[in-house]
Structure formats: structure tokens, C-alpha cells
Chains A and B, each alone.
Chain A
Amino acid sequence: METAVKSSVDVKAHGAQLIDGNQTFHSVTEKISQITEAGTPKMWYVGFGISVLLLLMGFSMIGYLIWEGTGIWGLNNPVGWGWAIVNFVWWVGIGHAGTLISAILFLFRQRWRTSINRFAEAMTIFAVMCAGLFPAIHVGRIWMAYYMFPLPNQMAMWPNFRSPLLWDVFAVSTYFTVSLLFWYVGLVPDLATLRDRAKSMFRKKIMGIFSLGWRGGNRQWQHYELAYLLLAGLATPLVLSVHSIVSTDFATSILPGWHTTIFPPYFVAGAIFSGFAMVMTLGIIARKIFNLEEFITIKHLERMNIIMLLTGMMVGYAYSCEFFIAWYSGNEYETFTFMNRAFGPYAWAYWTMIFCNVVVPQAFWFKKLRTNIPFMFVATILINIGMWFERFVIVATSLSRDFLPSSWDYYSPTVFDVGIYVGSFGLFFTMFFLFIRFLPFISMTEVKGVLPQADPHNYKH
């Protein structure tokens, strides 16, 4: 039957290239479902084991942090906000690519997204979990965290809604909820596939419950598709707002280097940039481990590289704009801050940032390099290092040289700063390994939908 379909399909050129290897509907189901059904590859145990160890290390350090207080970090008098906020912004930023790939590329009808959107969305959720960790622990007295929510309490106090930190609470929790819903809605039809393939009663029941009794009827698809479209339409401004709000943590202050009007869109561009880099890093690993070269093709990787080139240039634009206006403003504090960034004690961090974020992506102008997998793997990691340094540069340079020269100080992290950051990778990868092992990490439904034989117009009558 499959061959009969294929021979009757009048394949249109642009539809055929999204997925390689002459897939049929059934082969898509097989290839992706069997990852969750077959035995576990050895590599998986290795990766998962390392992740769990890092996670345990990170959480024991957090335990110690809660016991001792934030003094175990490298914070000092002018630099009262260190790695915790840097990591928070970095992780939230990484999360944004997932939403971008899912929602914005969906709205722009970029159908190539179907191979990568599922695990990008999962990445969003796990990255936001990691991000949420840091503000929660950096408040010091974590048992007072409920202050941040508008809960009635015996002191008859309400949170201060004029504080950017409170906006963060709302933005990040809304973002987490919406991303989770979006991801789950996308998963429902695939879970139904797993349900119908399940051999054991237990698996059938679990998948049956989570797939909600999905029947794939068009009366369901109709509402489902609109819901998906609406969620994409909501997630798009949401992702812009979340990182804009994160940027206001800095930009509403009066600190030179923090207070500048381009911050909201600049942070959004940076977030997308680093998030794509992370999707690439994970995608390259996953396609290797599970032999999914036909689904995540070199074309997918190339397109993502082009987006990184574009967003990398946006970030570069913001850097240069900030620098120019710092001089143009004629404000000596602004000018000093930026000269200090580039040539002061943190110059090494600044130039690392410039190299990783502005110089490295320029390589993607060349087709040879943007289709070279080892090169892009290294480049994506460099970009993520660069984006971490971007936030570090913003936080550390501005704080360490504040208005009063007598209080200037240099900030260096302690082993606990580093350890908890590394531990957050443990959390992230633990979740990620569980996800790729137990859930279909490429959307079967959507991949089938972009196969040429899915379009009724491609059949001859």
C-alpha cells in the first residue's frame, strides 16, 4: 500500500526536501516511536549518570547555601548581584529559542521547524526550570519566597507591583505555564500514537490517560489546530515580553551600562541567539545518538545557523549602538562605564563576549562552514559561552565600578558559584535525557504533515 501511495504522489519540489530518506507515514511512526520503546542505548546511561551526579552536587551546594546564606558566594559590597542573576538571565534566554522555533516559526509558516520544535519546546521548559532556581535561591531566605506572590498574609501586605523583580515572577511563571501547555498540547496526538502501539497494559493505560482519548478526528483537529495557532500567537508576544521584563531588572535602574532604552529588544535578540545555539548543541548530539540524520537534516542545521548569524548581528548592533550612544550622550558616567567595559579590569570578559557573539557567527556567511557539523558544534558552544559572558559583563562591570570610586571592588566567584551553575546543567540534562528516552522527541504528527504525500493536492485524480 505504501508504495502505491508513493507512486501516485506528484511530489512538488519544495515540499519534498524537508525530510530525507523517502519516509512513509508508517516509517515516521516507527523511527520515532521505537526510540521510546526499544532498549536504552549505552550512551544514554553514561549521559544520564553524569547529569544526575552533577544535579546531586548542585543541590547539595544549594542545601549548604540555604543553611549558610549567600555569603558563600563571591558577592562583595558593590557587586551585590553576581552569578545567580547572570545564570538566571542566561537560562531564561536559552529557553526562548524553544518558543521561538515553535511559535514564531509556526506563525511564519516555516515548515522546516517540525523536526526540531518538540525538543526545542522541551528545552524551554527545562531551561526555565533552571532559570527559576536562581532567583528562588538568591533571595537568601528562601522560606520567605511566598512574599513574591500576591497571597494574603497576616501582615496585610501586598507585593510591590512597581518592582521589576515582581514582574519577573509573573512573567517567568506565566511563561513556564504557557510553554508547558503548548508542549503538552503538541504531545497529545503523539501520545495517542504511543498508546495505540503499546504492548503492555500498563503502558497503554498511562499513554491512554495522557493522550486524553485522542481520536484524530477532524472535528478534534479543527479545534486543536486553532488552539495551537492561538497558543503560538500568544507565546510569541509572551516570549518578547518575558525577556523584555528580565531586561527591565537592569534597565529601570539609573546605573550606567544598565539603564539604556534598547535593552528590551536587545535582550530578546540575545535570548533567541543563545537559545538557538543550545537547540543546535542538543540537536547535533541527539541526531547522532539516535541516528536521526534523515529527520534533522543538514538543511535544518543550516537554517538555524543562518538565524544565529542574523540574531548575532542584532546583538552586535545593540553593542555598537550602546557604545555609540554612551559617547553621544555626553554623559561622563556612561562614557566611563563603556570604556571601562572594553579596557578596564573586565576587558577579558568583554572581548570574550565580542569574539563569541559577534565574530564567531560571521563564519556562517560561508556555506562550507554552516554545513560543517563539527564546526557548528564548536561554534554553538562558543556562542553560549559568549552569551553567558554578555550577562556577566553587564552585571559585573557596572556594579564593580559604581559612582563612588572608594567602594570599587573586583568580583570573583567562589567554588559555590561555579558549583551551583554546573549543578543547574545537571538538572537540565537530567530532565532532557529523561525526555528523549521516554517521549517522542520529534513530533510525528507534524513531520507526517509536511511529507509530500500528506497534502491531498499532491495526488493525481
Chain B
Amino acid sequence: MAKKENKVYGILAEFDNPAELLHAAEKVRDAGYKRFDCHSPFPIHGMDEAMGLKRSPLGWMVGFMGMTGAGLGTLMQWWMNAVDYKLVISGKPFFSYPAYVPVTFGVGVLFAALTAVFGMFHLNRLPMLHHPVYYSDNFGKVTDDGFMISVEATDPKFDAQATKSFFESIGAKSVELLQPE
């Protein structure tokens, strides 16, 4: 463990405002970095393009799970009321599908909503209670009014010195190496 203490896990550069962060992101993207992220207190419009991110697949996941939920909901009602426990209610057929619409819809929405939340957690790898960016004392500003870019050491283009001077050249207010104290 002691050897790891001085290992550099990445680099963190701070910028002045959302606009500068956006332009810096474009430059980082164009410089060929892959494992970098732009941290801000709120989502910034146009950042996905600036970083060159692909669209989130969450929509498809939610759509698929919503359909699955609705299908399972119908199946459940069919099996419970039309197969396993038949009961005549107000002269309606055992499989009276119009009456099953509300619950089918409800189960579908439930599945879809759970997928939206837990799918997002999965895509964002949450919860993740530790991350190299927390080595910086400055990082707490990101949830207040800080705008920062982090590059992880695992990025093939990463080189502590070169990356540092790159950030300085594109107008970072401050640059620091992420390493355990």
C-alpha cells in the first residue's frame, strides 16, 4: 500500500465558468483524450456534443422494460382471474381485458420507472463512494460553483506533465494532480 501512496490517479483542472468549461471540453476532446469528464454543479447545455458523448441508451432500456412490465402485468391478471381462480364478477367474462388495462398500465409504468432510476445508477456506476477526484481538496467546489475537468491516469494519452501543461495552455485557472496525500 505504501508504494501506491504517490501514484498519480489523474489530473483535475478548474475553469472559470460554464462557457470556458464547454470550450475546454471541446479542446480536450479534439486532443484525443477519452477518459475525461467535465464536472459542474448543474448540467450544461451542449456539453454532450462538446465532449463527443454518444446518446444515452437509457431510453431503449426503459422502453423495453416498460413493455415487459405491461406484458407481465397482463399475464398475471390473466392467470389469476381467468385460469387459477375463476370468479364471475358482474357477468363479465373471466378474461375481461378492458378491466385489466389500469393494472397493466400501472405495472408497465412501475417497471419503466424502476429501470429509469436503477438503469441510470448502473450507467453512472452509482453508488461509488470513492473516486480519485476526491483526492483534491478543491473538488468540493464542483457541487457549489466550480467547473472542472478531470482526466484519469488510465487514459492512453495521459501523461502527468504533458496533460498538466496542456490544461494550462487552454486556460485552466488551476491544475492539480490527483494523488493520495
Contact = CB atoms under 8 A, between A and B. Distances in A.
Nearest to A237: B109
Interface string A195-233: 111000000000011001111111111111111001100
B43 interface: yes
Given A213-B128, A445-B42, A195 B143 contact: yes
A446 B41 CA distance: 9
A226 B117 CA distance: 10
A241 B102 contact: yes
B174 to A, nearest CB: 12
Interface in B102-154: 102-103, 105-107, 109-110, 112-114, 116-117, 119-121, 123-124, 126-131, 133, 139-145, 150
A344 interface: no
Contacts of A67: none
Contacts of B144: 25-26, 29, 193, 196-197
Nearest to B61: A230
B80 A161 contact: yes
Contact of B41 (A1, A177, A448, A455): A448
A168 to B, nearest CB: 9
Given A162-B90, A222-B53, A227-B117, A217 B128 contact: no
- Chain A interface: which size bin? 35 or more
Nearest to B113: A178
Given A157-B85, A449-B43, A150 B48 contact: no
Given A24-B145, A454-B44, A456-B45, A181 B16 contact: no
A312 interface: no
A221 B38 CA distance: 10
A174 interface: yes
A221 B109 contact: no
A448 B142 CA distance: 12
Nearest to B17: A5
A218 B133 contact: no
A274 interface: no
Nearest to A166: B103
Contacts of A217: 37-39, 150
B40 A218 contact: yes
Given A213-B130, A230-B62, A445-B41, A167 B85 contact: no
B51 interface: yes
A81 B83 CA distance: 33
Contact of A156 (B37, B42, B85, B103): B85
B113 A231 contact: yes
Given A26-B144, A156-B84, A189-B41, 6 more contacts: A189-B42, A212-B126, A212-B127, A230-B112, A234-B109, A235-B113
Interface of B: 16-22, 25, 37-48, 51, 53, 56, 58-59, 62, 66, 76-77, 80-81, 84-85, 87, 89-90, 92, 96, 99-100, 102-103, 105-107, 109-110, 112-114, 116-117, 119-121, 123-124, 126-131, 133, 139-145, 150
Interface of A: 1-2, 4-5, 8, 24-26, 29, 150, 156-164, 166-167, 170-171, 174, 177-178, 181-182, 184-185, 189, 192-193, 195-197, 208-209, 212-227, 230-231, 234-235, 237-238, 241, 245, 248, 444-446, 448-449, 453-459, 461
8 contacts: A25-B41, A25-B144, A158-B80, A161-B80, A214-B143, A216-B40, A219-B53, A445-B41
The 6 closest A-B pairs by CB, nearest first: A25-B145, A196-B140, A227-B120, A217-B37, A158-B80, A459-B19
